[in-house]
Structure 1
Amino acid sequence: MDIRRGLLGLLLALGLYLLIKGSLDVFSFGRNTINTDPILVRVSGVLLLAAFGTAWFGDLGLVLFVTLLLFAVSSLVVAIIRGVTR
């Protein structure tokens, strides 16, 4: 049981890291040495969070709704910050 919790914690941490990293990389895309598409990084993070939520809560519909809402909010925050910094 402890191994399962550890793996779920790792999945949660990696998903949040990718979501935040993708949101921040939008502003430095093309200037960094490793050119990864920030949207793909954010989508990967959301998919990992969806996998974590499904394994933890067991309700796929609710988890997908919450993770898609999280992705939409992060996209909105990125768009607002981009608009403010222009």
Structure 2
Amino acid sequence: METEVLKSIASYGVFAILFFYMFWDSQKEKKQDKKDAREREDKLMEHIEKSDAHIQKSDETLKDIAGKFSTVDDIKRDVSYIKEEIKELRR
């Protein structure tokens, strides 16, 4: 009877050690996965911030170009007005 109990404990002991090892290994992997995810998130945030800076610069450039086109349109209207005035004076 005692040998059966000892065999039972010994067999469960192996499984307990195996369970503990698998649990410890999975926790180690989980910790590494979290670290990898954090590094990936940091890189993505850095990329997003750079992209945001480029978008803001592009927006400013577009506004500058739009302002220049507005100025060109104003000059175009003024030239047309002056042409009309010159035509009126020649008549």
For this structure pair, what is the TM-score category when the shorter chain's length is used for normalisation? 0.3 to 0.5
Larger radius of gyration: 2
TM-score (norm 2): 0.31
Bigger helix share = 2
TM-score (norm 1): 0.32
